[in-house]
Amino acid sequence: MKPRGKKDLETISSYLSLRKIKPDLVLSSCALRAQNTVNKLVESIEYKGKINFMQELYLSRPNILMDTITLQDDHFDSIFLVGHNPELSEFANILVDENCSKMPTLAILAINFDIDCWSEIRDVKGKIDFFIYPKQFRYYMPKQISGVLGKD
- Alpha carbon distances (Å) from 92 to 51, 60, 74, 129: 21, 13, 20, 13
Show the DSSP H helices in 45-142 as ranges: 62-70, 87-95
Closest CA to 49 of 77, 68, 13, 69: 77
pTM above 0.95, yes or no: no
Q: How far apart are CA 15 and CA 106, in angstroms?
A: 12
Element at 27 (helix H, strand E): strand 25-29
Per-chain mean pLDDT for the chain: 89
- What domains, with CATH codes, occur in the chain? 3-149 (3.40.50.1240)
Q: How confident is the model at residue 67 (pLDDT cuts 50, 70, 90)?
A: very high
CA gap 123, 145 in Å, rounded? 36
Q: 152 pLDDT exceeds 50?
A: no
pLDDT of residue 59 exceeding 70, the answer is yes
Going along the chain, which residue ranges are E strands?
Answer: 25-29, 50-54, 79-82, 108-112, 127-132
pLDDT, tens digit (0-9, with 9 covering 90-100), for 68-124: 999 999 999 999 999 998 999 999 999 999 887 788 989 999 999 999 999 999 999
For residues 103 and 88, the answer to whether their CB atoms sit within 8 Å is yes
Which of helix, strand or coil describes residue 110? strand
pLDDT of 25 over the 50 cut: yes
Q: Which residues pair with 81 in a beta bridge?
A: 27
